[in-house]
Structure 1
């Protein structure tokens, strides 16, 4: 078309673009055909023109161009487009979509779904023909076909053809293009009470930096986790994404909430000029729903929690009834029709018809009981006792049948079928008992039992000398291997499996790449010491040297010396013992000892030959609140043979860039190895200062603002060393600044109070 008009539609030719705009005439065309771009206006350097001329459709270029097409069309004309289909569903375009359905409704459409074109395999596409006089739309659905060829063939002989009324769709809340709904269903839907009218549906909070603020429960001390489950402490339950979970939400994550979430609030203000979203619903029991995925599922909060953006939730008066409603097939079909993308939004859930099941409490009671049994048998659960059979898989399937049963029908019979714990689960528990993580009778041990291995170290060696496995405390572990070792036939024995297979095949995946037993290993994994992080002390590495590695080296050196003497004493020509394997073990162990000593006493080397090195030498110390990722970083040379990621973590720790621009200067490890950089960061950045409890010292105006904002959420001076001194100094040296902050705070409080009263 550009050649026919004598113009080139390139961004480099502004004059040609202006000429094209002048050539087009408003209400001048019988037919407008287009394939508009599939990206949002955020990609544009300047959006002022679109914002001004297309306020309802400015969300993306596709809808803005469709809006322009309606301006170009003369009465009785048609608009034909091939475009991304999300504009027909997303809540940001409700007003624009309603206008299209009322003024230029589709007369026919083809839902191609994903993979309609080879050039755009990941884009969900809809072909539409719009016409002002369209009283009925005929829609062909080939979205379930795979690939362009299959979709094209299905169009020749379509099996899924729907007829709908655009004007009726426009009357629905949000005006979604739910072409699959019959007129009877639309009438029933319009007469139903919607979930959003009886319960708030809220987007959750974003932390701005999950590696800093979010931890798996097993990364922290048992005392910190216990405090979180009872409503106290510096960490609180945090509901993130569904990740395969349904019906009930276990305690999967914890978020730092020291002093009323001061650190999170400072970081959010710095990053987005925002406060935590949905704060009125914090610690209220609700029902979280999947925000991303092909299948919509819901699960009830098990603990009073804060919700993440991906853990957005509804807070209903009846939790059991709502979780049964949202997991029903009928509700799932409604939600996925309202929004057939993979991103379910608050508005989609709020538009679900609120239809309660009288048997919901009975269903949920059975689900909750089975879930409790399952959690007591799941090692990474905060409720864990010991491995055991679980009927959770059966119960979920039964609950689905129960909520999908026809109206008036009785509940299906509940005859639970139990799945036995697999070999990996049982062996992992035996290792945990030996290391003192679990009590022999079951459950996470607050303090290591006296029968556990000393210092939380399990040392295994490829030599013929006795190692930790020879100790009586490891007898149950050996017995467990005798029963279950056949599951790992490629390993010669338990010693071999612990050195070469346990971490990679069992422990790391079970703990979701946040392991709690660090596999300190020699280069070829002939010498491996598992160190339990919850029993780690400042001298753990020195104890490993003194009680395991150095004595093992002495035994091997003595054996090597004896072998060489024996060989020299034999007659010439007699068969010689090959001492090379023994010499290789000695060399590997010596190198391992040197590496352990360096990390213990000075710190790790740079991750690359010319990479950034630590600022100063420092003895290794573990701080559980830093998290497994940061704590493993400085141990990377000892973990590298089995676990590669810590080297990357150390590289990030050595740089203020960090992953995705988020540095680790908030951590105790950064302060230990890079004190000057961290101190400079505290002085320049409140986000770093609050992490190291130096907010009053370096940013008193920020501290005072948050003191007023949080009120009773924290003490007037926070838990910061010498905070009272720095606060007093600020008040004395900058009274005008303090007074301005106070007056602004009072003004905001009055506005909020007035708004709240007006809403009431």
Structure 2
């Protein structure tokens, strides 16, 4: 590329700080080619830098900042007919097909121009909400721009002109994309954005940042790069699996800086990812991690990569060996091999989530808040004339056994009332009262699983796995063997590879590899039974247990 042909865009530019920094980089490149600073400044503004935003005030600040950068090197730049290529995305609320008939602009191809203008005005409806997520294809902007110099135009000529200029930025390809896109989950979308995201970005519709990634990866030239500062969730969550697999199949991650919570002053993990817009088989990308402690007192890390942190140069082809293809760049070859040869948790046990009452205050109690003779302990079936049943609701970190605190009002009377509650879901009812292993759906620490004997209903705050699938040992022993693996550091490590967030959804648990070793399986089963026995004895040694008999110190 000739330097003047190199296009860089920030599609959510804000006040333009990235563009201002890019200006300085381009200035160094032009000066290295022998260009004078005055000429270089004008060339940068005319040819190299592009920016978009939905906020008019942000656009004004970015425009001002770039003009001041130009003025730094060219004293007469303010008197020249030179305009930086930064814009606020137009919001068309008035111009439609009927109004376009009044346009007096003269185009080289009048018929094609009318068609393209109609596409533009329709595309920019709700432009102030959709911003640079809007896409255009096949519009002839050279033809449209041929009409911009006509002086005999209608009163809305300026609106048309802006839509043409911004539309061209939204259609053309760039060698460099770089931005810190907005973050907003789909629960915060308005009706317009929600409908638009489902139609235009089905693989990334769960958050604005992911939609920006997908949108602007596709607007980079074959030899170009897209760099974004985003939430880390796209790297692991199943809701971004299709998007993630598309990136790994069509693009190449060349570099990633993965940052822990609070590294950027925000309470979630983030990632700076540089993506090349073509797939290079076998290319080893460079990945590294920055922990919160590395930037304590708002100081930048003294060296990158940081010794002792995750650092790896690995081909992204390896990620496909892990179910869901998470961007688990730190994983060793042995761990990757375990995913290849192991049996999946979900192939051994059937997992489910339980009931959502919509009103826990009414339907859930601690077991000691009601008469004991009204509680059906150790039941094998639901008797709709009974009143209370044990309820598994997750709970604190505890392995092997315990957290048996709650009961649920569950009979014919309560079921009729439950059906009137907003949010009530009767999930998992076919597995109520069955023997299981269980874990909490949200945990801030390590994974902890517990054995749950038959006789309990379970809630959406817990997850349960049951003996209803293939058994490699026998019905109960398969469950206990899986429990043993999941309660080791290795089980927790596998889960952190699949999903390092505080959520432990069923889908990720089901992907954990379980490797059976026949030479030790009997030892493992006996060990698990001992652990369950010891911890259940501990749990039952205190009055919070409904199986409490006597305190061990008496």
Note the C-alpha offset of 1:38.
Answer: 2.1
CA contact (8 A) 2:402 2:539 kept: no
For residue 343 of structure 1, the aligned residue among 503, 521, 527 is 503
Offset from partner CA, 1:425-471 (integer Å, 9 cap, x none): x9xxxxxxxxxxxxxxxxxxxxxxxxxxxxxxxxxxxxxxxxxxxxx
Q: Give CA deviations for 1:538-595 in whole Å, capped at 9, x if unaligned.
A: xxxxxxxxxxxxxxxxxxxxxxxxxxxxxxxxxxxxxxxxxxxxxxxxxxxxxxxxxx
Secondary structure in 1 aligned to 2:175? strand
TM-score normalised per structure 2: 0.64
Taking structure 1 as reference, are residues 246 and 209 closer, same or farther at Cα in structure 2, changes over 3 Å only?
A: same
User: Residue 235 of structure 1 contacts residue 255 of structure 1 at CA under 8 Å; is this kept in 2?
Assistant: yes
**Aligned counterpart, 1:537:** none
Write the distance in 1 (CA, Å) between the matches of 2:178 and 2:233. 19
**Structure 1: how far apart are the matches of 2:486 and 2:166?**
49
Question: Aligned pairs, how many?
Answer: 384
Tell me, what secondary structure is at the counterpart of 2:260?
strand
Give the secondary-structure state (helix, strand or coil) at the position aligned to 1:114. Answer: coil
CA–CA distance in 2 between the matches of 1:7 and 1:290?
A: 48
Q: Distance in 2 between matches of 1:116 and 1:239?
A: 36
Alpha-carbon distance change, 186 to 34 in structure 1, aligned in 2, over 3 angstroms: same
Asked if 1:129 is matched to 2:279, the reply is no
2:461 is paired with a residue whose SS is: helix
Query: Which of the numbers 317, 338, 344 marks the counterpart of 1:167?
Result: 317
1:154–1:341 distance in 2 versus 1, CA, 3 Å: farther
Answer whether contact 1:257 1:263 (CA < 8 A) is retained.
no
Task: Supply the distance in 2 between the matched residues of 1:77 and 1:315 (Cα, whole angstroms).
Answer: 49
- Identify the structure with bigger relative contact order (alpha carbons < 8 Å, sequence gap 6+): 2
Alpha carbons of 1:15 and 1:127: their partners in 2 closer, same or farther (altered >3 Å)? closer
User: How do residues 319-338 of structure 1 correspond to structure 2 at under 5 angstroms?
Assistant: 319-338=479-498
1:152 pairs, out of 284, 289, 301, with 301
Q: 280, 283, 288: which one pairs with 1:140? A: 288
Instruction: Sort the Cα spacing of 1:15 and 1:163 in 2 relative to 1 into closer, same or farther, 3 A.
Output: closer
Rg larger in structure: 1
Are the aligned partners of 1:115 and 1:146 in contact in 2 as well (CA < 8 Å)?
no
Q: Say whether 1:301 aligns with 2:452.
A: yes
Q: Which residue of 1 aligns with 2:46?
A: none
Matched, 1:51 2:198: yes
The answer (yes or no) to whether the contact 2:92–2:127 under 8 Å persists in 1 is no
Contact 2:176–2:224 (8 Å) recurs in 1: yes
- Matching of residues 558-597 of structure 1 within 5 Å: none
- Deviation of 1:312 after TM superposition, in Å, equals 0.8
Please list the CA deviations of residues 253-273 of structure 1 after superposition, one character each: whole Å capped at 9, or x if unmatched.
111111296246413xx524x
Give a deviation string over 1:377-413, Cα, whole Å, max 9, x none: 2011101122225xxxxxxxxxxxxxxxxxxxxxxxx
Q: Deviation per CA, 1:313-337, whole angstroms, max 9, x where unpaired?
A: 1114433212111101111101011
Q: Which residue in the other structure is 1:94 paired with? A: 241
Distance 1:107 1:246 in 2: 40
Quote how far apart the aligned CAs of 1:351 are.
0.5
Inter-partner Cα distance in structure 2 for 1:285 and 1:58: 38
CA RMSD of superposed structures (Å) = 2.6
Check whether the contact 1:26–1:71 (CA below 8 A) recurs between aligned residues: no
Q: Residues 106-505 of structure 1: matches in 2 within 5 Å?
A: 106-118=253-265, 120=266, 122-131=267-276, 132-134=278-280, 135-143=283-291, 145=293, 147=295, 149=298, 152-153=301-302, 155=304, 157-160=306-309, 161-225=311-375, 227-230=376-379, 233-259=386-412, 262-263=415-416, 265-267=418-420, 270-272=421-423, 275-293=425-443, 294-316=445-467, 317=475, 318-356=478-516, 358=521, 359-389=523-553
- 1:286·1:300 contact (CA, 8 Å) conserved in 2? yes
Larger relative strand fraction: 2
* Alignment-derived partner of residue 85 in structure 2: 5
**What are the within-5 Å matches in structure 2 for residues 505-516 of structure 1?**
none
Residues 265, 276 of structure 1: 8 Å contact kept: no
Gaps of 5+ in 2: 1-50, 52-58, 64-83, 94-125, 135-162, 468-474
Which range moves more in the overlay, 80-89 or 250-259? 250-259
CA contact (8 A) 2:347 2:510 kept: yes
The aligned residue for residue 55 of structure 2 is none
Which residues of structure 1 form unaligned runs of 5+?
390-425, 427-760
Q: Distance in 1 between matches of 2:222 and 2:392?
A: 52
- The answer to whether the 8 A contact 1:285-1:315 is kept is yes
Structure 1 residues 537-548: aligned runs within 5 Å: none
Q: CA deviation at 1:96?
A: 1.0
Name the CA distance, whole Å, in 2 between partners of 1:21 and 1:50: 21
1:31 paired residue number? 176
